[in-house]
């Protein structure tokens, strides 16, 4: 007896879409500010003085560092660094190590903002992928078996449809 498994992917598609909407897409946008609240996601482009002044802490040729602002005292920023971008375009990921830099080292400042356009594009692309998978693989659950019918169809094969159900609060 050949056993075929079909999974109803509607709950998975709904969950994936909900996660995409909740996570959203963010991007760094330029800001004219020099004062930021603690916990703000920031990125700073370094000037030449900053590259030289921070070379012993973060390495040479760093163009931009980004992370979360821990503290700002006077003209110093203390950042939990998440990534560095180098002059050649390469990046390196960090795991929140604190780095203190002076305001005079900063060429440009950026803050992370929600991007509705990028989020909409991601949701549309995700819906297209899920819709294409449903159509291409005929996973829409519209087989000809009636619920409760456990007899194999003519030809000796059995089709099994697994369904997920969950309640939203």
Whether residues 55 and 101 fall in one domain:
yes
Cβ atoms of 8 and 162 within 8 Å: the answer is yes
Tokens of 54: 């921070």
pLDDT value at residue 73: 92
Tokens of 82: 């998440």
Q: Examine the fold and report which residue of 95, 114, 133 is the final residue of a domain before the chain moves on.
A: 114
User: Alpha carbon of 5 to those of 19, 35, 78: distances in Å?
Assistant: 26, 58, 54
Taking the C-alpha atoms of residue 101 and residue 35, their distance in angstroms, rounded to an integer, is 14
Choose among 48, 34, 114: nearest CA to 77. 34
Question: Residues 7-59: pLDDT tens digits?
Answer: 555 566 666 666 655 556 777 788 877 888 899 999 999 999 999 999 999 99
pLDDT value at residue 32: 78
Coil, helix or strand for 63?
A: strand
pLDDT tier, 6 (very low <50, low <70, confident <90, very high otherwise): very low
Whether residues 98 and 59 fall in one domain:
yes
Whether residues 61 and 101 fall in one domain:
yes
Average pLDDT of span 135-155: 56
* CATH number for the domain harbouring residue 32: 2.30.30
Has residue 47 been placed in a domain? yes
Structurally, the chain folds into a number of domains equal to 2
Whether residues 122 and 109 fall in one domain:
no
β-strands 157-162, 2-7 pairing: parallel
Cβ atoms of 67 and 81 within 8 Å: the answer is yes
Whether residues 102 and 40 fall in one domain:
yes
Whether residues 126 and 149 fall in one domain:
yes
Q: Examine the fold and report which residue of 97, 114, 131 is the final residue of a domain before the chain moves on.
A: 114
Has residue 167 been placed in a domain? no
Question: Residues 67-115: pLDDT tens digits?
Answer: 999 999 988 999 999 999 999 999 999 999 999 999 999 999 999 876 6
Whether residues 16 and 81 fall in one domain:
no
In terms of pLDDT, which residue wins out, 49 or 164? 49
Whether residues 71 and 17 fall in one domain:
no
Whether residues 60 and 98 fall in one domain:
yes
Whether residues 8 and 45 fall in one domain:
no
Choose among 81, 89, 94: nearest CA to 43. 81
Torsion-angle region of 154 (φ positive above 0: left; ψ -120 to 50: alpha; else: beta): beta
Torsion of CA 65, 67, 70, 73, to 10 degrees: 30
Whether residues 78 and 143 fall in one domain:
no
What lies within 8 Å, CB to CB, of 123 at 6+ separation is: 17, 20, 21
Whether residues 38 and 95 fall in one domain:
yes
Domain of residue 92 covers 28-114
Place of tokens 């660094």: 81
């Amino acid at each position: 007896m050949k056993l075929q498994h079909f999974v109803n992917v509607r709950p998975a598609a709904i969950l994936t879409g909900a996660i995409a909407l909740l996570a959203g897409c963010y991007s760094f946008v330029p800001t004219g500010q020099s004062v930021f609240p603690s916990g703000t996601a920031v990125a700073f482009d370094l000037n030449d003085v900053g590259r030289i002044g921070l070379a012993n802490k973060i390495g040479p040729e760093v163009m931009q560092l980004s992370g979360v602002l821990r503290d700002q005292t006077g003209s110093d920023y203390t950042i939990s660094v998440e990534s560095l971008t180098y002059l050649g375009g390469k990046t390196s990921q960090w795991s929140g190590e604190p780095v203190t830099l002076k305001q005079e080292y900063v060429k440009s400042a950026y803050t992370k903002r929600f991007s509705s356009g990028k989020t909409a594009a991601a949701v549309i692309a995700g819906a297209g992928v899920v819709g294409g998978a449903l159509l291409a693989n005929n996973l829409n659950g519209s087989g000809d078996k009636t619920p409760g019918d456990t007899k194999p169809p003519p030809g000796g094969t059995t089709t099994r449809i697994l369904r997920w159900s969950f309640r939203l609060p």
